[in-house]
Amino acid sequence: MLIQPIDYFLVAWFAVAAVSTLYVGFDQYRNNPEPVVMKWGFILVTLYMGPLGLLLYVLADKEPRPGGHEDFTRPLWKQGAGSTIHCVAGDATGIILAAAITAALGLPMWIDLIVEYLAGFAFGLFIFQSLFMKSMMGGTYWENVRKSFLPEFISMNFMMAGMAPVMSFLMMGRDMRAMEPTELLFWGVMSLGVIAGFALAYPANVWLVARGLKHGLMTQRPPTAETRGREQPAERQHAQMQLQQADAPGQGHHSQGHDMASHKGKGGGHQMETDATLPQIAALSMVSLLALAIGMIAPANWLNLTLSARDVGGVIMPHGMIMDRDTPADTMRDMAATDPRLVTASYDLAATGDRELPFRMENGAKVFELRPSVIRWQILPDVAVDAYAYNGQIPGPRIHIRQGDRIRINVTNDLPEETTVHWHGLILPNQMDGPAEITQAPIKPGQSYSYDFTATQHGTYFYHPHAKSDRTQALGLYGALIIDPANPADEVPADYDYVIELQEWLVREGLTYPSMPMEGGMPNFFTINGRAYPSTETIHMTVGETLKVRFIGTNNGFIHPMHIHGGPFEVVARDGETVPASARFLADTIDVGPGQRYDVMWKARHPGKWLIHCHIPHHTTNNNVEEKGGGGLMVIIDVS
């Protein structure tokens, strides 16, 4: 599923890479006189580097005209490119295979990097260099291992020094899908890592070729009748194999375009000669080790490399979140975006939340069913949130009961993570209270739990999770719990009764994050009853009528000073408790903090459109923009 802009780019990138690889493979085997090992080197590198691999092939190796390969590939920069191609093809193959396996096994990132280095070095040395080049180098397999070890060691060090930080910072960055081999982004990071590794290894390979320590590009042509007649049987496989001498100073020990068999040893094949001094080789080796150490170790100063793909589960972090070497996996998972692939249902603006939840009677108890799941909920015509919701509603369905009722609420968890339900402000048995790991075991995905208690109070309450509530409540798990008094005379009467449930949302680039008052978690959308103005409901009244507004702080992170235009209101209840008539007071703004509830009585004194809104201006915008006079936490009372 394509859920981020980078995904579409990667689809295009790998499509171009596939076409480029097919072209290089076809052209190599149809037209280009390279030995098989170099053909596969260019094919693999083009597969990993996409159009950049194709560009290298066309500029450095593709025979421009029949018989012109030797002259075309002679420049030193091309010979160095050929040597680097050969190195990268083998080393990168080992690295990529190791990265996929270690991720699948759930190994920490720091172990992953070490295994990748060892696998890349082993594959490059034992397979691509010593085995695939054996027929060209001559001698026994283990002689070739010995001769190839130092050049391969230097080249691999530089390559991994380029790849390691790219993989570390991108895999452990904001979008951690890059750690999952099943994700396209993982392969995109591998591709970019190979490109970085190639760039860092290239200068060293140029020097290694110039000093005769590594092979560059080669030419292998079918024997002609003339050459076939002159060949000795032991020499035939090498007779048309030529190693082009680079146009570089200090190459007098090579004869231009020489026959590789002319310098064969006991086993036949080309014996490389070098004019590099021991101090030069030692210095280059030490610099390669230093580059490797920096590339492998330095990222640990900024990243928590003790984490694995299993720890973070391919989550995507919000912009601006501070993630450092001490950030644990739990923090990352709790702040991560909702995975759009887990959405089970979508609802447009015609759907409403806070619908009264039906019940059935069983043995004298009112039985309710709650089922939290992942949904897509429209808060504005052009803005949807991927939310956690009870029974497909935001807010969750209203549980409306009477004081003295015995109720049972069966909760079935359809979320991708554990949950519980807390009945905020109620007096009930401790085991029914809901805090995970304290009064009950959390409800795991797919499991159920029943809450059974008798309502001894009356007033305005609400329910919400008490397992990872910093995340799950912020993503939409909340609902009103309204308890009528057993004695109707205890209710403060009004012509209209309206519940307002507050919420804050963080939506960026089509992803929904749990909003939190911390770096990277600040909200940019605000809703009343699951909608942002101008998509909120309008309350219709006539002059002289009264409205009871039940403000519920179902939000997580902010205090909202809720203000009603058109005259003061009377505060008649707080946190579910009715305020005695003698203690009631008039106000036009009341601070509603997370978890708080206020019941207020407002009278329609004059006709017109009167606002209920948060008095923090930013909270009456949509992504910092006013629309039709406002946004976010606004509701209109239309009085006629």
Q: Which residues of 182-191 are buried (b: 16+ CB within 10 A; e: fewer)?
A: ebbbbbbbbb
β-bridge partners, 389: 373
β-bridge partners, 496: 547
pLDDT > 90: what percent of the chain? 81
In sequence order, the 6+-apart residues with CB closer than 8 A to the CB of 52 are 195
Instruction: Give the torsion through C-alpha atoms of 199, 200, 206, 208, to 10 deg.
Output: -150
Report d(CA 299, CA 108) in Å as an integer: 14
pLDDT band for position 134 (50/70/90)?
low
Structure tokens at 516: 């939190």
Q: How far is CA 615 from CA 501, 553, 556, in A?
A: 16, 15, 18
Q: What is the tens place of the pLDDT at every residue in 467-523?
A: 999 999 999 999 999 999 999 999 999 999 999 999 999 999 999 999 999 999 999
Kind and range of the H or E run holding 449: strand 448-454
Q: Which residue has the higher pLDDT, 580 or 144?
A: 580
Residue with tokens 């307002």: 500
pLDDT at residue number 251: 44
Report d(CA 356, CA 9) in Å as an integer: 46
Structure tokens at 575: 């946190």
pLDDT > 70: what percent of the chain? 90
CB atoms closer than 10 angstroms to residue 609: 12
Q: What is the tens place of the pLDDT at every residue in 340-374?
A: 999 999 999 999 999 999 999 999 999 999 999 99
Q: Which residues of 491-501 are buried (b: 16+ CB within 10 A; e: fewer)?
A: bbebeeebbbb
Question: What residue segments make up the domains of the chain, in order of their start?
Answer: 75-218+280-311, 341-486, 506-639
Question: Can you tell me the mean pLDDT for 237-247?
Answer: 49
Domain 341-486 class in CATH:
mainly beta
Structure tokens at 570: 């009377």
Report d(CA 98, CA 115) in Å as an integer: 7
> For the chain, how big is the Rg over CA atoms in Å?
35
Report d(CA 303, CA 169) in Å as an integer: 7
CB atoms closer than 10 angstroms to residue 477: 27
Question: Can you tell me the mean pLDDT for 563-577?
Answer: 97
Q: What is the tens place of the pLDDT at every residue in 67-119?
A: 889 999 999 999 999 999 988 999 999 999 999 999 999 999 999 999 999 99
pLDDT band for position 2 (50/70/90)?
confident
Flag whether pLDDT at 260 surpasses 80: no
pLDDT band for position 226 (50/70/90)?
low
Report d(CA 540, CA 566) in Å as an integer: 14
Question: Can you tell me the mean pLDDT for 529-542?
Answer: 98
Would you state the CATH architecture of domain 506-639? Sandwich (2.60)
Report d(CA 526, CA 505) in Å as an integer: 6
Q: What is the tens place of the pLDDT at every residue in 281-335?
A: 999 999 999 999 999 999 999 999 999 999 998 999 999 999 999 999 999 999 9
β-bridge partners, 390: 372, 393
pLDDT at residue number 1: 72
Kind and range of the H or E run holding 638: strand 634-639
Best CA proximity match to 622, nearest among 531, 519, 509: 531
In sequence order, the 6+-apart residues with CB closer than 8 A to the CB of 357 are 368, 369, 370, 391, 397, 398, 399, 400
pLDDT band for position 261 (50/70/90)?
very low
pLDDT at residue number 86: 86
Structure tokens at 295: 């590339």
Structure tokens at 383: 């803005």
Q: Which residue has the higher pLDDT, 46 or 234?
A: 46
Flag whether pLDDT at 258 surpasses 90: no
Report d(CA 16, CA 144) in Å as an integer: 37
β-bridge partners, 360: 367
Residue 198 backbone dihedrals phi, psi, to 5 degrees: -60, -45
Q: What is the tens place of the pLDDT at every residue in 21-66?
A: 999 999 999 989 988 888 999 999 999 999 999 999 999 999 888 8
β-bridge partners, 205: none
Structure tokens at 311: 């720890």
Q: 406 by DSSP, 3-state: which?
A: strand
Q: What is the tens place of the pLDDT at every residue in 547-563?
A: 999 999 999 999 999 99
Q: What share of the chain is helix, strand, coil (3-state, %, to 5)?
A: 40, 25, 35
Cα 153 vs. chain centroid, distance in angstroms?
A: 34
Question: Considering only 12-16, 132-136, 263-267, 467-471, which range has the smallest mean pLDDT?
Answer: 263-267
Cβ–Cβ < 8 Å for 561, 615: yes
Q: What is the tens place of the pLDDT at every residue in 184-198?
A: 999 999 999 999 999
Domains 341-486 and 506-639 share a fold: yes
pLDDT band for position 627 (50/70/90)?
very high
Cβ–Cβ < 8 Å for 376, 343: yes
Cβ–Cβ < 8 Å for 562, 500: yes
Question: Can you tell me the mean pLDDT for 560-574?
Answer: 98
Report d(CA 532, CA 529) in Å as an integer: 8
Question: Can you tell me the mean pLDDT for 392-401?
Answer: 98
Q: How far is CA 493 from CA 499, 602, 612, in A?
A: 15, 12, 20
Q: How far is CA 428 from CA 357, 412, 452, 583, in A?
A: 21, 21, 9, 28
Residue 76 backbone dihedrals phi, psi, to 5 degrees: -60, -40
pLDDT band for position 267 (50/70/90)?
very low
Flag whether pLDDT at 274 surpasses 90: no
pLDDT band for position 139 (50/70/90)?
low
The amino acid at residue 500 is I
Structure tokens at 621: 């915008």
Report d(CA 315, CA 357) in Å as an integer: 33
Question: Can you tell me the mean pLDDT for 630-638?
Answer: 98
Best CA proximity match to 514, nearest among 559, 462, 470: 470
Cβ–Cβ < 8 Å for 169, 183: no
Kind and range of the H or E run holding 459: strand 459-464
In sequence order, the 6+-apart residues with CB closer than 8 A to the CB of 277 are none
